[in-house]
Structure 1
């Protein structure tokens, strides 16, 4: 059985930065409680993180909801900067980085090590899934083995494993099932 959580641990009603939270506990234990599954029945807990974290775009100024932000981000970047770093087309990034409900542009930031540390402490993952490796380098989209990733990607993976105290077992280098690098030992 697979139980998939919603949102990120940083948006958890109980563990996030109020008022920038969702309406539920988004931790692994919170999801299990809502599904009626005892934590002792769980074999694997996967923590999913992106190479560059995102949040929804801030509300437009001058509107009723345009009085605040969608929440804090450490070292916010632009999609132009991600395009420059990765070599991916800016138009492609902007098109795919829109919210599913409101179709608003997403915000993006540098990898947040403190957020990873907190998420790992709250969720005790057995494994980590790292997504959007193509945002580090467009050439990652053609990688079929971990050895084909850039040194930058290897350093990020090693850092994540050190902070999360869990192996990065699955990596995505783009959209589609052929874009998964599987390092699982299980």
Structure 2
């Protein structure tokens, strides 16, 4: 990692998700002992390329691709057990020694089939007011958690009590479904049988993630805490209501794995060299049609989880400067610089103009944001491939100028630059 004295580092998305966190975690996992996810669920899709192979990980931390790394899912995660075992078994089938290296917090809430049923029905009922959920039950699982009616992994130890909880949950969701224009219903018997069929396997991976991480740090080991989605999708600090249902920002990291905030040494914000967003909600720097298609094609901008096309736009320094503040970023990892290699010129949003005023901070009022127009600064492109660059000095001069300007505008130093999908296509910036 950047500083050999940094024992505990948080990796956090600093735009609207899909920034390339999976690759950065994979690169840094080679230098740590434990990698832990601290929030989110199977709606995350972290894509990692190892040689000619592509791995898309939805719940298991990207560190699993490194031998002997301990990988954890913290209490802040909503845990989809069936999808998890699918993913785990698929890794094993591909020759990854994953079994026995993954642990899940006993305090993690289970995301089950009835959460997905309710999620789909609820989103369909919104009509034109859709939030743009993935339909994977993330929001409903967090709703149950906050309403104190969720089912945690540790609750499975008492089988009779767990079965009763499941039947109550099925009845509760069916009551809600009756109020919507849908024929979907939850079969309580099938729900119980389904979960109990994997109960023993689930209990075998249950751990106290906070204790594991505490002991690792006490022993001088290094820990990486991995977030899902991005800062602008945080339920408190994002573009509400077009957000996810958890705290994606770095403040949620210690909370989501069960350690104190003073144990975190560094926070690395991952950003694309441009901006993307999946689904509904504001994107102030969104490209017009022709450039939209060009960058989407160059960057392969389709959701790893949903396959939905991502909306693309110019780099928004207002967004990342805000993310740097709310996350306390100590460094940036800039990904997909190579996607911009063929553009004649580049624009960076340096502020917004709204209601006759210039705004240099990201507004919490979506009405104000809807009327905001980005104020751009234009820089020349470099018109040459960056894919083979491995040192800062290897980058074209205009690419270095562009990155320097991003750092200046976001008030955060750049520590890493990714110039391709492969594990080795990374620049460790030493300046």
Both proteins in one fold, TM over 0.5:
yes
| Cα displacement string for residues 104-144 of structure 1 (whole angstroms, at most 9, x for unaligned residues) | 11110110111011100001111110000101216011212
Distance between the aligned counterparts of 1:184 and 1:3, measured in 2?
23
Displacement of 1:23 in angstroms is: 0.6
Structure having the larger proportion of residues in strand? 2
* Residue number among 239, 246, 268 corresponding to 1:46 in the alignment: 268
Q: Which has the larger radius of gyration?
A: 2
In the TM superposition, what are the counterparts of 1:2-151 in structure 2 within 5 Å?
2-56=224-278, 58=279, 70-77=280-287, 80-81=290-291, 91=297, 93=299, 96-137=300-341, 139-151=385-397
User: Is contact 2:391-2:429 (8 Å) kept?
Assistant: no
Aligned to 1:65: none
In structure 1, runs of 5+ residues without a counterpart are 59-69
Distance between the aligned counterparts of 2:394 and 2:430, measured in 1?
17
Displacement of 1:3 in angstroms is: 0.5
Distance between the aligned counterparts of 1:54 and 1:171, measured in 2?
17
Could you tell which deviates more after superposition, 2-11 or 149-158?
149-158
Displacement of 1:166 in angstroms is: 2.7
Summarize the Cα distance change of 1:73–1:3 in structure 2 as closer, same or farther, 3 Å threshold: same
Distance between the aligned counterparts of 1:152 and 1:35, measured in 2?
41
Displacement of 1:78 in angstroms is: 5.4
Aligned to 1:179: 425
Would you say 1:153 and 2:375 are equivalent positions? no
3-state SS of paired residue (1:154): helix
User: Is contact 1:120-1:164 (8 Å) kept?
Assistant: yes
Displacement of 1:45 in angstroms is: 0.8
Could you tell which deviates more after superposition, 15-24 or 34-43?
34-43
Summarize the Cα distance change of 1:78–1:43 in structure 2 as closer, same or farther, 3 Å threshold: same
Displacement of 1:91 in angstroms is: 4.8
3-state SS of paired residue (2:269): strand
Distance between the aligned counterparts of 1:154 and 1:80, measured in 2?
26
Displacement of 1:79 in angstroms is: 7.8
Query: TM-score scaled to structure 2, two decimals?
Result: 0.36
Distance between the aligned counterparts of 1:79 and 1:154, measured in 2?
28
In structure 2, runs of 5+ residues without a counterpart are 1-222, 343-384
Displacement of 1:92 in angstroms is: 5.2
Summarize the Cα distance change of 1:83–1:72 in structure 2 as closer, same or farther, 3 Å threshold: closer
Query: TM-score scaled to structure 1, two decimals?
Result: 0.80
3-state SS of paired residue (1:76): coil
Distance between the aligned counterparts of 1:171 and 1:79, measured in 2?
28
User: Is contact 2:227-2:248 (8 Å) kept?
Assistant: yes
Summarize the Cα distance change of 1:99–1:92 in structure 2 as closer, same or farther, 3 Å threshold: same
Could you tell which deviates more after superposition, 12-21 or 134-143?
134-143
| Cα displacement string for residues 120-178 of structure 1 (whole angstroms, at most 9, x for unaligned residues) | 00011111100001012160112122122233322232123223333201110010122
Distance between the aligned counterparts of 2:421 and 2:321, measured in 1?
27
3-state SS of paired residue (1:177): coil
